[in-house]
């Protein structure tokens, strides 16, 4: 993915991973609740390459994690 902000995408994915693990969910279980494939979630959470998501997926991720969307972008 071409982006001017690769580190921000990666940081977002790592935040998703952090909050998912806090909830005690596997990638498979979390992806199922969000309505995406396990492989798609693995791309989002990748620490080595940027991967974006749609607004719909973003809102669903936050809903499943039971956190405000803003938490996924905090430093």
Q: 6-73: what fold?
A: 434 Repressor (Amino-terminal Domain) (1.10.260)
Burial 1-37 (b: 16+ CB within 10 A, else e): eeeeeeeebbbbbebbbebbeeeebebeebbebbebe
The residue behind tokens 């430093």 is: 75
In the chain, domain spans: 6-73
Integer Cα distance of 38 and 3 in angstroms:
24
pLDDT value of position 4: 94
Mean pLDDT for the stretch of residues 44-69? 97
- Say yes or no to pLDDT of 1 above 80: no
Give residue-wise pLDDT tens across range 47-56: 999 999 999 9
HSE-CB of 10 using CA atoms within 13 angstroms: 12
């Amino acid at each position: 993915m071409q982006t001017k902000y690769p580190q921000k995408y990666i940081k977002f994915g790592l935040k998703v991973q952090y909050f998912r693990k806090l909830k005690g969910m596997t990638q498979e279980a979390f992806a199922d609740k969000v309505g995406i494939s396990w492989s798609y979630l693995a791309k989002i959470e990748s620490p080595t390459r940027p991967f974006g998501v749609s607004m719909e997926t973003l809102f669903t991720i936050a809903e499943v994690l039971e956190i405000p969307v803003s938490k996924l972008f905090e430093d």
